[in-house]
Amino acid sequence: MKTVFAILVFRLVLSGQEWPSYSGGAGGSHYSALKQIHKGNAGKLRIAWTYRTSDLEPASGNNRKAAFEATPILVNGTLYLSTAFNRVLALHPATGERKWVFDAEIDRGRNYSEVTSRGVSYWLDRRAARNAPCRERILLGTLDARLIALDALDGKRCDGFGKGGQVDLGEGIGGVRFPGDYQVTSPPAIAGDVIVVGSSIGDNGNVKMDRGTVRGFDARSGKVLWSWDPLPPELNAGAANAWSQISVDAERDLVFVPTGSASPDFYGGERKGDNRWANSVVALKASTGQFVWGFQVVHHDLWDYDVASQPLLFTWRGKTPAVAIATKTGMVFVLDRLTGKPLLPVEERPVPRSPVAGEESWPTQPFSSADLLAPQSLRAEDIHAATPEGKKHCQDLVRSLRWEGMYTPPSEQATLSFPGNAGGVAWGGPGHDPERGLLIVNTNRIPFSVRLIPREDFARQRTEAAKNRLQGEFAPQRGTPYGMYREPLRSPDGGICAPPPWGAISALDLNTGKKKWESPLGSLAEGVRTGSPGLGGPLVTGGGLVFIAATLDNRLRAFDSDSGAEVWSHELPASGQASPMTYSAGGKQYVVIAAGGHGKLGSKQGDYVVAFALE
């Protein structure tokens, strides 16, 4: 019965009748077969409706962190989405008219590490009578670590789930609790009657943090069915949490879990070894949580190179079930879905060793044979800038930094990190074009300076930096001999100290590992295609189009899937740091994007949900 239901949902997704999960399907494809909108008529797209969420009211100090990153889902004629402050909305898909709203009533006065929610999930109780309350459920993970079940028809809590319709996710996770640092920011994964939940952990403050335990919950009762910890119990660390989207292969009873780095990010002297299964994709049995296989993309991470994007499930060369992992380093690993063995060759190569006392960096790192999605080296002589002064500033800055390749370990001498912790590929992840066999994804190309600060001098340097208005980030890394400071390398003329494009969208042939095309994505300068850093992913359609926002210039764009040529764009009322989705309602295809900006990224904030359709 489970397999039949999974196949039915898959067919509905491909037909465009449903968009039942964050990425359309449970395997992270961001794909719809709809083709009413195509390359020939995309220029006729206009705004069909706009909905205002009022999410930034009442104002609080957390507004400066707020990011509207949600992708709506469409199930049974209703759009469901969540806001940064954990309000759930049900909208009419053809008009944007609100059907109901639920407010999780989080404490806006608490200092949260992250202020975002990327969406909600849907579950159908196939055992329940057709008109039973909560037969259809909307699941929400919250900033204050609750899992809430709502009736999809009216937004009321499902009383039989947990206590009063919610489960406290802070219970039973181990580690040391830091309120506001243990959260849920991505939608839960639904695997049959199991809800699989990861966590978002502010992992750079301490050695001892909450454990990144992944858990399976009974979708009817909220009872814990299983738990899996990515780190061995004896390791002196926490985190390694799955904060991005988890993929599901319901037919094979598997979930694919992307994990982040162990705590803290930039000094690993207290967490000896390769730190498996941090920085990995791990296959677990969905029904039991049993470990099946794991593949680690970075050993003993010292660069904050989390697996930030959802694992992409696809069929390799027409016959082999596969999973593709797109990484912050710009590499793509293509693995057998059943065994975790590489389908495209992977080589362990020697990398620089750390000069820092007490740090035992790993001697090798895995390198994929697939073409790179983003550059992994930066030379001062290749830097461009709008002014001679800006170019000299950037060149002098890059030359002053320690650099022995992408995996140069941090030290007291400032090191260059490129690509930086924002990617490469960030949480938006790739889309999949099954007709062309393409992985399509946007990447960032932002260099960072990273410096370890001896514990005895950390407080003084942070105080001095505040006086001098430095724009970087200080992290205490308590429990280690070092704090950390990092900042992006920017030019005085407003550019980035790297060759453009600073953001791009690329297509990779998954069968061969060869890049098919690449185009600049967005711009930071009027009339110049510099590319823009961004957050959010693509939507791929059967009309031969790739829709994407993500950039800092507040536009939604469409690209030709065959060539990468930009064929349409439209200005949004606020920045679109979210992945778009599409569906058909009343015979008309719509493309919908959350446009609310990103406080930490510094983009234009707002509270808009915008739908486009052909005029």
Q: Which residues pair with 540 in a beta bridge?
A: 31, 546
Q: Say if strands 31-32 and 539-541 run parallel, antiparallel, or are unpaired.
A: parallel
State how far the Cα of 65 lies from the Cα of 61, in Å rounded to an integer: 8
CB atoms within 10 A of CB 3: 12
State how far the Cα of 474 lies from the Cα of 452, in Å rounded to an integer: 10
Two tokens at 561? 């899937």
| Residue 324, helix vs strand vs coil | strand
CB atoms within 10 A of CB 479: 18
Closest-CA residue to 506 (of 601, 577, 423): 423
Cα 322 → chain centroid? 20
State how far the Cα of 197 lies from the Cα of 246, in Å rounded to an integer: 8
DSSP secondary structure code for residue 33 in this structure? -
State how far the Cα of 82 lies from the Cα of 120, in Å rounded to an integer: 6
Q: Say if strands 608-614 and 588-595 run parallel, antiparallel, or are unpaired.
A: antiparallel
Which residue's structure tokens are 């449903």?
Answer: 18
Two tokens at 582? 């599409």
Two tokens at 487? 């900042």
Q: Which residues of 282-306 are buried (b: 16+ CB within 10 A; e: fewer)?
A: bbbbbbebeebbbbbbbbbbbbbbb
Closest-CA residue to 254 (of 334, 321, 319, 177): 321
- Which amino acid, residue 273? G
- Burial environment of residue 258 by CB neighbours within 10 A (0 to 12, 13 to 18, 19 or more): buried
Closest-CA residue to 577 (of 131, 202, 118, 150): 118
- Which sign, positive or negative, has the C-alpha torsion 433, 435, 438, 444? negative
Sheet holding 332-336, edge to edge: 312-316, 320-326, 332-336
- List residues with catalytic annotation: 304
Sheet holding 291-296, edge to edge: 247-249, 254-258, 280-285, 291-296
CA distances from 299 to 103, 190, 213, 259, 410 (A): 41, 29, 19, 12, 15
CB atoms within 10 A of CB 470: 14
